[in-house]
Amino acid sequence: MPHEQSVSLSAFQKLIHDRYFATDNARGPAGTFLLFMEEVGELATALHDNRAAASPSNPMGKKRPISPEERANLEEEFADVLAWLATLANITGVSLEKAVEKYTIADRVEGIKE
């Protein structure tokens, strides 16, 4: 089994920068955003494939159990979306670690969306 490693948000952003910045920066924000949205679409499909089972109160639910491959794909699509988000942040000069302070600094965000 591969060694699992935790990584901070800033370290992940740097890893993405080091691997992909030259190509991504040359493509620019608009082209990169389109690729990001493609990944969001793939995540939407994976979420649909991993939806709760059908029941009387949830007739649109899944008709069969979620397969291990579907679950693995869901995790992969979350990773892809996060990587493309880091790419967009890199080419626009945004620190994701700084950006998430909106949620990590006490009392900065209140309430919930309905």
Model's pTM, two decimal places? 0.85
Task: Note whether residue 101 is domain-resident.
Answer: no
Number of domains in the chain: 1
Q: Using CA atoms, how far apart are residues 66 and 91, in angstroms rounded to an integer?
A: 37
Tens-place pLDDT, residues 53-85: 899 998 888 898 899 999 999 999 999 999 999
Half-sphere exposure of 109 (CA within 13 A, CB side): 9
In a domain, 103, yes or no: no
Looking at the domain assignment, is residue 113 inside a domain? Answer: no
Q: How far apart are CA 113 and CA 46, in angstroms?
A: 24
pLDDT tens-digit series, residues 3-53: 678 999 999 999 999 999 999 999 999 999 999 999 999 999 999 999 988
Nearest to 96 by CA among 33, 35, 14, 41: 14
Position 106 in a domain? no
Q: Is residue 114 part of a domain?
A: no
Domain range enclosing 82:
10-95
- What is the CATH number for 91? 1.10.287.1080
